[in-house]
Amino acid sequence: MHGPYPHPIIAREGWPFVIATATVAILSTAYFGFTGSVLVWIALAFVVQFFRDPARSIAGDRMSVVCPADGRVVSVGAAHDPWLDRPALRVSIFMNVFNVHSNRSPVDGTVKKIWYHAGSFLNAALDKASLENERNAIWLQTESGSDITCVQVAGLIARRILCHVEPGAHLARGDRYGFIRFGSRVDVYLDPAAQVCVALGDKVKASSTLLARLPGHG
């Protein structure tokens, strides 16, 4: 999935929204003039910035875990991974409406299983959103046998989580695998022995910020 950029500037998930909003803006301007349509043009600018999906450099090596999303680190600590039923180290990243919302694989690994659960739409910055909100989890296993659970969590506004991979797919870290429309969160569950490279409150970028090093990494 590495290689030529597949959807320049705007994520493929956003084109229907951009086209629809641009059409309304053009028609509104034709009928009411720019002054009467300024709010629609502001809405178009918001839609374009929300669905932007810039190319990114990929941090680390095959034993590294990179951030799967842009945003701010809102939780780092010991937790129970409910998907693999194991003790884990969880790092949570909150995305506000001004962050890039394209989600990328945190590791080089194979998708072993995917779980989807409908749920509530609490503020994604709240810790209980990880257990109560709409969410989609993927279990990734690296060649060295490390298990990583990456969970897309819907937010207060979000109503659609998109996941474009299926079990058996191989992902390189930084590969795009999904998108969450509007404010949301991504939780990453790691082996408790992993070395976390981010701290609470850090602002991070998908793929280009190193999240952690897997156990045994030299």
* Active-site annotation holds for 64: no
Catalytic, out of 92, 105, 130, 184: 184
Largest CA distance in the chain: 65
Q: What angle do CA 60, 173, 169 make, to 5 degrees?
A: 155
Tell me how many helices (H) and strands (E) the chain has: 2, 14
For 41-74, give the secondary structure using H, E and C: HHHHHHHHHHCECCCCCCCCCCCEEECCCCEEEE
Other Cβ atoms closer than 10 A to 110: 15
**Residues 188 and 106: beta-carbon distance below 8 Å:** yes
What secondary structure does DSSP assign to 78-138, as a single string? Answer: EEEETTTTEEEEEEEEEE-TTS--EEE-SSSEEEEEEEEE--B---TTSTTHHHHB-EEEE
**Which of the residues are catalytic?**
184
